[in-house]
Chain A
Amino acid sequence: MNMPIQANLPENLLMKAQQLVQAGWVSNLDDLLADALRRYLESHSEELAEKFIREDVQWGLYGKH
């Protein structure tokens, strides 16, 4: 289910996004914003942060450094 949102965006950012849509890189602005938000959430996720912490533990205790 999609939910409508209202957001204030910097004008130049919105223009660049619209240019990408017009050039056919993405089908519409809704998809572009959803994709951008998805990528942001993926790269800042708690699961990922915890994965990195576990890697640090292995490296710290058993790594060659």
Chain B
Amino acid sequence: MPKNSSVKMSNGDCMASTDTTIRLVVCDAGPLIHLDELACLDLLSSFAVVLIPDTVWEEVLYHRPQAIDASQTWAKRVTPTRVLPPDLEATTRLFSLHAGEIQAINIAQECQADLLLTDDTAARLAAASAGIQVRGTLGILLRAIQHQQKTADEVLAILRSIPIQSTLHIRASLLQEVTEQVQAFHRT
């Protein structure tokens, strides 16, 4: 989603983002926790700006404090500077979203983020209906091959470890399907 955007940071500074690639990313709790469980949280450091909303920060700090520790150097904790617009409020209520998801969508829209990361289905629906590009943990994991952060073999090993090492829910047959797609990609 190429665009010119201005990023408001928690300290009031603004950061210009004019690249055609994905630069500004807002994170919900799921991908932070899941990527950390898979020892892959550093994959997010390849984005120019990674924002973690206040509520998400607290949620991750409670459930997976080491993920917050590990993200401190490249992620910024942010508070929304605007009240949730009525249309977005209605959408988030319609999808029964939690506080962290609501704040993440609000910040992503407010900052014109290039990408919102969440593994929650309802949050993805709500964000997409608000015009925000959304991806989840697996997208970031597989993107790592193209960006040469991980080899295909490394990603395959991580995929195999998901059921035992992570709380990310993915049906075994679907995980197998994903694995086969990565293998096919690797062969080409």
Q: Is the interface of B mostly helix, strand, loop or mixed?
A: helix
B181 pairs with A61, CB closer than 8 A = yes
A61 pairs with B146, CB closer than 8 A = yes
Q: A50-B171, A63-B143, A65-B146 are in contact. Are A45 and B22 (CB under 8 A)?
A: no
Q: Which residues of chain A from 15 to 65 have a CB within 8 Å of any chain B CB?
A: 39-40, 43-46, 48-50, 52-53, 55-57, 59-65
**B94: Cβ under 8 A from any A Cβ:** yes
- The docked-state distance in angstroms from the alpha carbon of A45 to that of B61 is 28
Chain B residues closer than 8 Å to A64, beta-carbon distance: 21
Write the nearest CB–CB distance from A22 to chain B, whole angstroms.
Answer: 20
- When C-beta atoms are compared, the residue in chain B nearest to A52 turns out to be B124
Stretch at the interface among B7-15, B62-70, B131-139: B131-139
B143 pairs with A39, CB closer than 8 A = no
Q: Is the interface of A mostly helix, strand, loop or mixed?
A: helix
A44 pairs with B138, CB closer than 8 A = no
Complex partner residue of B138 from A40, A48, A53, A63, CB under 8 angstroms: A53
Q: A61-B145, A65-B146 are in contact. Are A49 and B121 (CB under 8 A)?
A: yes
**Extra contacts besides A39-B94, A60-B144, A63-B143 (9): CB < 8 Å:** A43-B121, A43-B122, A44-B121, A45-B121, A53-B170, A53-B178, A56-B137, A61-B146, A62-B185
Residues of chain B at the chain A interface (Cβ within 8 Å): 21-22, 94-96, 121-122, 124-125, 134-147, 169-171, 174, 178, 181-182, 185
A sample of 9 cross-chain residue pairs with beta-carbon separation below 8 angstroms, ordered by A number, consists of: A40-B96, A44-B121, A53-B138, A60-B135, A60-B139, A60-B144, A60-B146, A62-B185, A65-B147
